[in-house]
């Protein structure tokens, strides 16, 4: 079934938090509500369920890649120039430490930057239903609903104290 989005704008967080209850009573599922704010709020402040992110995985993978490349590079060059120095083994750990450290961190950094973009679900080609006043302090509730239910959702948002309601053009 075709879906449609409705945005309710609220002047304050308290009203917006209360509106989610009204929407639930009107039959809207929690997963169909997205809260838009200009500042971070404590998790669950609007009763929302936040999916787990995997951002910490990215620097880990990057660090492992960087570490591996650095080890291959340092070990490879030592083996390529097998000069015995002071009777020490060809593969010596101390000279590899700096390059390995540097490689590990560089890998972690690059993957973290990629992780930020990926995990924030960015870039978005179209910003979607939005209002610039959200960055001024208004709270936006975007409700995704069946195309034939948007009027009921709009009424529920208004009933809950929405200052303004916008919807996607059909």
Chosen residue from 9, 20, 46, 149 binding another protein by CB under 8 A: 46
Nearer to another protein, 1 or 126 (CB): 126
How many residues at the interface with another protein, by CB under 8 A? 60
**7 lies in the binding site for another protein (CB under 8 A):** no
Partners of 34 in the β-ladder: 142
Choice from 25, 31, 128, 151 touching another protein (CB under 8 A): 128
Reduce the DSSP state of residue 45 to 3 states and report it. coil
From residue 112, alpha-carbon distances to 50, 62, 120, 137 in Å are 21, 7, 12, 29
By CB under 8 A, tell whether 87 contacts another protein: no
Site stretch for another protein (CB under 8 A), options 19-27, 90-98, 145-153, 155-163: 90-98
CA 104 to chain centre: 24
d(CA 1, CA 58): 36
Give the residue from 59, 170, 56 showing the smallest Cα distance to 111: 59
Which residues, numbered 138-167, are part of the site for another protein (CB under 8 A)? none
Interface with another protein, residue 99, by CB under 8 A: yes
């Amino acid at each position: 079934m075709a879906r449609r989005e409705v945005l309710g704008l609220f002047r304050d967080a308290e009203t917006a938090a209360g509106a989610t209850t009204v929407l639930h009573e009107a039959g809207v599922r929690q997963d169909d509500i997205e809260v838009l704010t200009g500042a971070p709020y404590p998790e669950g402040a609007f009763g929302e369920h936040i999916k787990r992110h995997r951002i910490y995985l990215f620097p880990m993978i990057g660090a492992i890649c960087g570490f591996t490349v650095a080890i291959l590079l340092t070990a490879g060059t030592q083996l390529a120039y097998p000069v015995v120095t002071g009777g020490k083994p060809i593969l010596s750990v101390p000279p590899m430490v700096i390059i390995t450290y540097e490689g590990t961190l560089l890998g972690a950094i690059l993957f973290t930057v990629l992780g930020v973009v990926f995990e924030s679900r960015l870039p978005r080609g179209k910003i979607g239903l939005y209002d610039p006043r959200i960055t001024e302090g208004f709270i936006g509730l975007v409700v995704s609903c069946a195309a034939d239910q948007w009027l009921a959702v709009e009424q529920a948002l208004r009933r809950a104290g929405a200052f303004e309601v916008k919807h996607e053009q059909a």
